């Protein structure tokens, strides 16, 4: 068999412009592995790379940080991983192991860590080079297309719920039923919470209940805070909608000592009256993706509890269309590129 010399990559050449190109197959450097990509999820955060409006991007850049593939080559010094092994790569490209955060065990906040598909080329491609410290082992029971969204959307929801103070039987609301929320509803249900899906419009209700929600609140038809209080208040609300105004409206729905967990990042301000915080001893928390080990926990929990990402597959060559579909909020629920 002849060695493949070229591979396809869907790069962003300049802000807003995708281009399918052929590149020379890269050689992984020390500490890196080369993957043959099988699937890559399309995440809202890919906008950072596509638009270049959050941080400076060195173009051309290949987006994509929900990557599943097989190891194709090992760089020097890589141990514990083998050629042919199924692996995933998420948003955080791999911790350094040396900085203050890493030495305190807080790998998510490694100050030397890059973001996959932002500072390094990501998974909108047939091949990708990744740091071995950023690899996640993929269980055989999960296929590549289904596993991909679990590496960003899935771990984000799993971690936010797992680190929240909610206990089995507590009321937990998931705000937004999209790429993150549709997994959040499934996790919340399978973790044993009384699960409330919160979204806009009556048309999402049936799907939310099918995903496992016990209740649905349509924010166009009801005051969400009142509706949650009518259920006794939520111990935890996880908000996936990056609209601070909509988050502010949730706070009144928290039970005493409740937590609003924010996972939908936005630059604008969440408004809350100190009175509302003080009266009920409620708090607002942020949560950012997770470590590679937490991702493996999330994948194992998904396999154990029969949790499935619902996806629309799009061939790599049509990535621009898939991305636009995600941005329009038309995808049900995650777009996944196949190679």
Q: In the set 21, 73, 99, 114, which binds Zn ion (CB under 5 A)?
A: 99
* Largest CA-CA distance found in the chain, in angstroms, rounded: 70
Q: Could you say whether residue 150 binds Zn ion (CB under 5 A)?
A: no
| Residue 8, SS3 per DSSP | strand
Does 102 interact with Zn ion (rule: CB under 5 A)? yes
Count of other CB atoms within 10 angstroms of residue 68: 28
Residue 329 DSSP code: T
Q: How far apart are CA 248 and CA 116, in angstroms?
A: 31
Our CB check for Zn ion shows the closer of 44 and 194 to be 44
The stretch near Zn ion (CB under 5 A) out of 1-9, 111-119, 124-132, 296-304 is 111-119
Q: How far apart are CA 206 and CA 213, in angstroms?
A: 10
Number of amino acids touching Zn ion (CB under 5 A): 9
Grouping H, G, I as helix, E, B as strand and the rest as coil, residue 149 is: helix
- Give the range of 97-105, 124-132, 140-148, 292-300 binding Zn ion by CB under 5 A: 97-105
**What is the DSSP pairing of strand 334-338 with strand 32-42?**
antiparallel
Smallest distance, Å, CB 265 to Zn ion? 10
Instruction: Candidates 67-75, 94-102, 279-287, 296-304: pick the segment binding Zn ion (CB under 5 A).
Output: 94-102
Say how far apart CA 204 and CA 218 lie, in whole Å. 8
Query: Smaller CB distance to Zn ion: residue 72 or 121?
Result: 121
Binding mask 40-79 toward Zn ion (x if CB under 5 A, else -) reads ---x-x----------------------------------
Q: How far is the CB of 39 from Zn ion (least distance, A)?
A: 14
The DSSP element (H or E) to which 89 belongs, if any, is strand 86-89
- CB of residue 172 to Zn ion, shortest distance in Å: 22
Q: Which region among 29-37, 152-160, 201-209, 269-277 touches Zn ion (by CB under 5 A)? A: 152-160
Structure tokens at 267: 């630059």
Applying CB under 5 A, among 152, 234, 237, 249 the residue interacting with Zn ion is 152
Contact 110, 132 (CB under 8 A): no
Based on CB atoms, which residue is closest to Zn ion, 46 or 218? 46
For the bound state, the minimum distance from the C-beta of residue 42 to Zn ion, rounded and expressed in Å, comes to 9
Stretch that binds Zn ion, among 16-24, 106-114, 143-151, 169-177 (CB under 5 A): 106-114
Q: In the chain, which residue ranges form alpha helices assigned H by DSSP?
A: 47-51, 100-103, 144-147, 153-163, 181-190, 205-211, 224-230, 244-248, 274-280, 292-304, 319-327
**Smallest separation (angstroms) from Zn ion to the CB of 201:** 24
How far is the CA of 328 from the CAs of 264, 320, 321, 324, 325, in angstroms?
A: 16, 12, 11, 6, 5
Q: Which residues form the interface with Zn ion (CB under 5 A)?
A: 43, 45, 95-96, 99, 102, 110, 112, 152
């Amino acid at each position: 068999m002849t060695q493949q010399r070229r591979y396809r990559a869907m790069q962003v050449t300049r802000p807003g412009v995708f281009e399918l190109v052929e590149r020379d197959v890269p050689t992984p450097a020390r500490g890196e592995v080369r993957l043959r990509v099988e699937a890559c999820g399309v995440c809202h955060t890919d906008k950072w790379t596509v638009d270049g409006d959050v941080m400076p991007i060195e173009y051309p850049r290949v987006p994509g940080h929900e990557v599943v593939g097989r190891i194709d080559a090992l760089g020097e010094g890589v141990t514990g991983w083998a050629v042919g092994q199924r692996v995933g790569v998420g948003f955080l490209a791999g911790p350094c192991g040396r900085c203050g955060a890493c030495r305190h065990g807080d790998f998510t906040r490694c100050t030397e860590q890059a973001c996959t598909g932002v500072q390094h080329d990501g998974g909108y491609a047939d091949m990708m080079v990744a740091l071995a410290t950023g690899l996640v082992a993929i269980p055989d029971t999960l296929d590549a297309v289904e596993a991909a969204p679990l590496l960003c959307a899935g771990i984000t929801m799993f971690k936010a719920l797992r680190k929240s103070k909610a206990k089995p039987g507590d009321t937990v609301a998931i705000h937004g039923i999209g790429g993150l929320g549709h997994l959040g509803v499934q996790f919340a249900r399978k973790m044993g919470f009384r699960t409330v899906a919160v979204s806009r419009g009556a048309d999402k209700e049936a799907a939310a209940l099918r995903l496992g929600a016990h209740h649905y609140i349509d924010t166009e038809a009801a005051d969400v805070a009142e509706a949650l209080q009518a259920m006794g208040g939520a111990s935890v609300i996880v908000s996936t909608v990056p609209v601070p105004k909509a988050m502010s409206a949730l706070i009144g729905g928290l039970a005493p000592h409740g937590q609003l967990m924010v996972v939908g990042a936005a630059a604008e301000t969440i408004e809350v009256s100190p009175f509302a915080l003080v009266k009920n001893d409620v708090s607002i928390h942020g949560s950012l993706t997770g470590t590679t080990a937490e991702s493996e926990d999330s994948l194992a929990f998904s396999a154990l509890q029969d949790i499935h990402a619902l996806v629309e597959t799009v061939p790599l060559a049509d990535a621009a269309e898939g991305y636009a579909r995600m941005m329009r909020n038309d995808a049900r629920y995650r777009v996944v590129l196949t190679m």
